[in-house]
Structure 1
Amino acid sequence: MPKVTLDLPEEVFSALRRSPEEFVRELRLAAAIYWYQKSEISQEKAATIAGLNRRDFLMALSREQVDVFAVDFDDLQRELERG
């Protein structure tokens, strides 16, 4: 598995009151949510990036008040027209 290394000042962790491990978990989740909201990745891929199973990722979306189901209204309109 590829590994990414970030060099951050020690003050970041104390300012956020997070350990480096907590920071990494939150960073992975934030990135996963961001890309999921932009419809760049699926829920399943987002969960993997966040280091969670899909159910826990859905719970994290709920806690962060992020819509779980994104609706593309153009796609919905095409579906309705076909039906």
Structure 2
Amino acid sequence: MSDILIQIPDDTIVALKCLPKDIGDEIRMLAAVKLFEMGRLSSGAAARMVGISRVLFLSRLKDYHVSALSLTQKEFIRETELLGISNL
């Protein structure tokens, strides 16, 4: 695993109401969630990025108002047809 060093202004740490030692974990989670939301990381890769299980990562997405399921309209229609729910 690679280490990445970032500098954060002290007033930002105060505004976040976090201890400095916890900010790295929070930023890593935020980055993983956003990269997952953008489709740049799978849920498994995002979970590994933050060092938690895939199931826990998916369950925590709601805390960030991100859906664990992201289907295109075409994929959604195909899935509903496969389930026999074609009249939505």
Q: Counterparts of 1:1-83 in structure 2 under 5 Å?
A: 1-75=1-75
> Match of 1:40, SS?
coil
* 1:44 shift after superposition: 0.2
Q: Aligned in 2, Cα 1:55/1:5: closer, same or farther, shift over 3 Å?
A: same
Q: Percent identity?
A: 25
Q: Deviations over 1:57-76 (max 9, x none)?
A: 01210222311111023345
Instruction: Specify every segment of 5 or more residues in structure 1 that has no aligned partner in the other structure, as ranges.
Output: none
* Alpha-carbon RMSD: 2.1
Q: Segments of 4+ in structure 1 off by > 4 A? A: 75-80
Query: How many residue pairs get matched?
Result: 81
**In 2, Cα distance between the equivalents of 1:64 and 1:9?**
23
Is the CA contact (8 Å cut-off) linking 1:28 and 1:51 kept in structure 2? no
Q: Aligned in 2, Cα 1:16/1:76: closer, same or farther, shift over 3 Å?
A: closer
Is the CA contact (8 Å cut-off) linking 1:29 and 1:50 kept in structure 2? yes
Q: TM-score, normalised by structure 2?
A: 0.75
Amino acid at match of 2:30: A
**In 2, Cα distance between the equivalents of 1:6 and 1:35?**
18
